[in-house]
């Protein structure tokens, strides 16, 4: 009976030991759950924080060995470094007086993160229709689904299946409605939970961002996961973000988290290009009466108070939900509708802000 790819990978790992150790890394318990999907293998190695830099070469060797396993096309292996309580990670060497420059993505002129302080505010739907609005206004646009734990862009854009690769190394983004699209959702089944630690998230984002044939784009929209965590810090560390858009609903609880999102991007010196108030109000499809279900105007007020642009209001509309669930985003499938025009104006206002924004190199971030 032939061994599965996972069994072969485990057998390979049992032949490897950390430098200075006599025990193989599987028996030592430092290998995380191994994820295998269509020739791609992903896992992490948990190592002492003080040895993380020293063991980068070992990580690369493990990756090389795993890639040599029959049936493995690509391996993504990260080091998980546990920091002991009270310890601080050593800062990377840096020449005095220099500002670290983060390399951009070849061919991509601007990168805009669409974020939210919490989930459930319609961030991904807004990101997709915003990207389509920019495209409809004449720009070349791509969208990167950075929500590793809950990727929804494939469903919103009616895309599925594994992406093609160039020489088995570079991912080729899928395309629909004129957008170039990459998501972890193309690499894993929709019902499979992503139980990944921070380093795996960082590795996956880096691969989708830098090992992807984006081509020439005016703007890459990045649909961020909700909150203020690894993905946001990774984007701030890895690329010179043009700026961020914060999506919120108007009620106080959502706005509290939205303020945290604004504060986080400001702290890492990423310009906040504006706030969007989603589900701003509800118009009854039968009587035309308006109801402010989640209150109204909170995001506009906060934008004024925080000194950031207010980009606009998106109503709570059944048609937005229906078209989003069906993978038929309203800007692409009903471009003359009032809702589509709202998104296009939002996109135009955003781009006006972008063209008047000075891009900054992303800072190096040290977490104590």
Give the domain ranges of the chain: 17-82, 108-355
Q: Does 319 score more than 80 pLDDT?
A: yes
What pLDDT, on a 0 to 100 scale, did the predictor assign at position 224? 87
What pLDDT, on a 0 to 100 scale, did the predictor assign at position 193? 61
What pLDDT, on a 0 to 100 scale, did the predictor assign at position 326? 94
Average pLDDT over residues 350-360: 73
**298, 263 in Cβ contact below 8 A?**
no
Q: Which of 65-69, 102-106, 118-122, 307-311 has the lowest mean pLDDT?
A: 102-106
Average pLDDT over residues 205-234: 83
Whole-Å CA distances, 89 to 189, 233, 336 = 36, 16, 54
Instruction: Enter the tokens of residue 126.
Output: 């807004």
Q: Where is pLDDT greater, at 293 or 326? A: 326
Q: pLDDT-derived band of residue 197, with 50, 70 and 90 as boundaries?
A: low
Q: Which of 12-21, 108-117, 181-190 has the lowest mean pLDDT?
A: 181-190
What pLDDT, on a 0 to 100 scale, did the predictor assign at position 143? 96
Average pLDDT over residues 325-353: 93
- Helix boundaries (H) for the chain: 5-13, 56-67, 123-136, 153-156, 198-210, 230-238, 252-267, 298-306, 318-325, 330-333, 338-355
CA distance 204 to 199: 9
Whole-Å CA distances, 281 to 289, 292, 298 = 10, 5, 11
Phi, psi of 183 (to 5 degrees): -155, 150
Q: Does 188 score more than 50 pLDDT?
A: yes
Instruction: Enter the tokens of residue 88.
Output: 């601080």
Q: Does 139 score more than 90 pLDDT?
A: yes
Phi, psi of 25 (to 5 degrees): -70, -25
In 126-183, the DSSP E strands lie at 141-145, 165-166, 170-171, 174-176, 179-183
Q: Where is pLDDT greater, at 2 or 8? A: 8
Q: pLDDT-derived band of residue 114, with 50, 70 and 90 as boundaries?
A: very high
Share of the chain above pLDDT 90, in %: 32
Q: Which residues contact 125 (CB under 8 A, 6 or more apart)?
A: 156, 278, 320, 324, 329
DSSP secondary structure, 315-366, as one string: EE-HHHHHHHHTT--HHHH-TTSHHHHHHHHHHHHHHHHHHTS---PPPP--
244-287 pLDDT tens trace:
998 988 876 777 777 787 777 877 788 889 889 888 888 777 77
What pLDDT, on a 0 to 100 scale, did the predictor assign at position 339? 92
Q: pLDDT-derived band of residue 234, with 50, 70 and 90 as boundaries?
A: low
What pLDDT, on a 0 to 100 scale, did the predictor assign at position 221? 96
What pLDDT, on a 0 to 100 scale, did the predictor assign at position 132? 97
108-355: in CATH 3.30.70.3400: no
Average pLDDT over residues 100-128: 83
Q: Where is pLDDT greater, at 85 or 184? A: 184
What pLDDT, on a 0 to 100 scale, did the predictor assign at position 90? 43
Average pLDDT over residues 193-213: 74
Q: Where is pLDDT greater, at 87 or 290? A: 290
User: Same CATH fold, 108-355 and 17-82?
Assistant: no
What pLDDT, on a 0 to 100 scale, did the predictor assign at position 149? 77
What pLDDT, on a 0 to 100 scale, did the predictor assign at position 238? 67
What pLDDT, on a 0 to 100 scale, did the predictor assign at position 192? 64
How high is the mean pLDDT of the chain? Answer: 81
What pLDDT, on a 0 to 100 scale, did the predictor assign at position 199? 67
17-82: in CATH 3.30.300.130: yes
Average pLDDT over residues 167-178: 88
What pLDDT, on a 0 to 100 scale, did the predictor assign at position 93? 41
202: three-class secondary structure by DSSP: helix
84-93 pLDDT tens trace:
444 444 444 4
What pLDDT, on a 0 to 100 scale, did the predictor assign at position 88? 45
């Amino acid at each position: 009976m032939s061994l599965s790819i996972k069994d072969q990978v485990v057998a390979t790992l049992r032949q490897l030991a950390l430098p200075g150790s006599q025990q193989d890394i599987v028996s030592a318990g430092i290998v995380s759950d191994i994820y295998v999907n269509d020739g791609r293998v992903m896992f992490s190695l948990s190592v002492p924080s003080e040895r993380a830099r020293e063991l980068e070469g070992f990580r690369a060797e493990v990756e090389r060995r795993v890639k040599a396993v029959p049936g493995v096309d690509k391996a993504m292996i990260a080091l998980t470094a546990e920091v002991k309580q009270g310890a601080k990670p050593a800062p990377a060497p840096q020449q005095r007086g220099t500002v670290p420059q983060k390399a951009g993505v070849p061919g991509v002129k601007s990168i805009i993160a669409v974020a939210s302080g919490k989930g459930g505010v319609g961030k991904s739907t807004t990101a997709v229709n915003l990207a389509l609005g920019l495209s409809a206004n004449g720009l070349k646009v791509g969208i990167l689904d950075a929500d590793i734990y809950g990727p929804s862009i494939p469903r919103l854009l009616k895309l599925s299946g594994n992406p093609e690769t160039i020489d088995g190394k570079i991912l080729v983004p899928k395309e629909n409605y004129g957008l170039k699209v990459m998501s972890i959702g193309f690499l894993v089944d929709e019902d499979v939970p992503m139980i990944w630690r921070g380093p795996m998230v960082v590795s996956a984002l880096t691969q989708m961002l830098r090992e992807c044939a984006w081509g020439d784009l005016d703007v890459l929209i990045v649909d961020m996961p909700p909150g203020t965590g690894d993905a946001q810090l990774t984007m701030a560390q890895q690329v010179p973000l043009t700026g961020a858009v914060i999506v919120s609903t108007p009620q106080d609880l959502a706005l509290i988290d939205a303020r945290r999102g604004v504060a986080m991007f400001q702290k890492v010196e990423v310009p906040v290009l504006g706030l969007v108030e989603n589900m701003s109000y509800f118009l009854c499809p039968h009587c035309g009466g308006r109801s402010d279900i989640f209150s109204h105007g909170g995001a506009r007020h906060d934008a004024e108070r925080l000194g950031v642009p207010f980009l606009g209001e998106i109503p709570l509309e059944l048609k937005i939900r229906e078209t989003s669930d069906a993978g038929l985003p309203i800007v692409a499938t009903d471009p003359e509708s009032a809702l589509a025009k709202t998104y296009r104006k939002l996109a135009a206002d955003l781009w006006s802000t972008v063209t008047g924004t000075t891009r900054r190199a992303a800072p190096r971030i040290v977490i104590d």
